Amino acid sequence: MNILNRKFFARNPVEVARDMIGTYIVRRYGGDLLVGKIVETEAYLAEGDTASHGYKPKSNRTESLFGPAGYAYVTNVHRYFIMNVVTEAVNQPSAVLIRAIEPVEGIEVMKRLRGKDNLVDIGSGPGKVCIALGIDRSCDGISVTSSDSDIYFLPRSTKENLDIGSSARIGISSAQDYLFRFFLKANPHVSGPTPLR
DNA sequence: CACCAGATCCTCT
DNA sequence: GAGGATCTGGTGG
């Protein structure tokens, strides 16, 4: 299977974030296969990025962020989990945050996990993505570059014509001059008050 | 130990 | 648009 490999993730997080738009996240959950198309991401830099969790020294919470590329960094914000894929190299705490997905497969299971029936309520935000895919802290630090993984990624379909927009990142109070948020324009599953931003 | 801030979401107005 | 829920880590006494 042609899954996204270590080399794909071992690059600058801004490039990886843009390249992940339109790819698919696959989650093995119990006996079910949950699949979502990634429609929104954010990049966090290893250096000089005051908004990144890696800007502070390594802690128990952020250990996987400082590890090698191609591993999950799952942590909590308030009472919710959010999921990143680590990029670049060891001791370079950079990552791509999965901010929104469009449900593709296993939709009924995702609806049940989310407790919502409306499709646009399933994955339109980083916390929602983790709930819909059954991702929690037990997924922190696992490899996502093998088809044996409980989480892995499939490339975008080459035929698809993607209209990708960028903006400042959401929910942070510093480094607003970095335009590190990427999203599929006019896709209703993108997070935020309006799909177009 | 107390207090505060945070890469969020939901339920009201 | 405002505020609460609720968990973790960092800071300061």
Q: What is the pLDDT of residue A195?
A: 37
Whether residue A149 is predicted with pLDDT greater than 70 in this model: the reply is: yes
Q: A104: which 2 tokens?
A: 């593709």
Cα separation, A104 vs A167, whole angstroms:
25
Find the nucleotide nearest A80 (Cα to C1′). Answer: B8
Q: Is the CB of A56 under 7 A from strand C?
A: yes
pLDDT in tens, A11-22: 999 999 999 999
Please give the distance of CA A167 from its chain centroid, rounded to a whole number: 16
Residue nearest to nucleotide C5 (CA to C1'): A79
pLDDT in tens, A111-141: 999 999 999 999 999 999 999 999 999 999 9
Would the pTM count as exceeding 0.85?
A: yes
- CA–CA distances in Å: residue A107 to residues A101, A104, A187: 12, 7, 17
Instruction: Give the distance, in angstroms, between residue A60 CA and nucleotide B3 C1'.
Output: 21
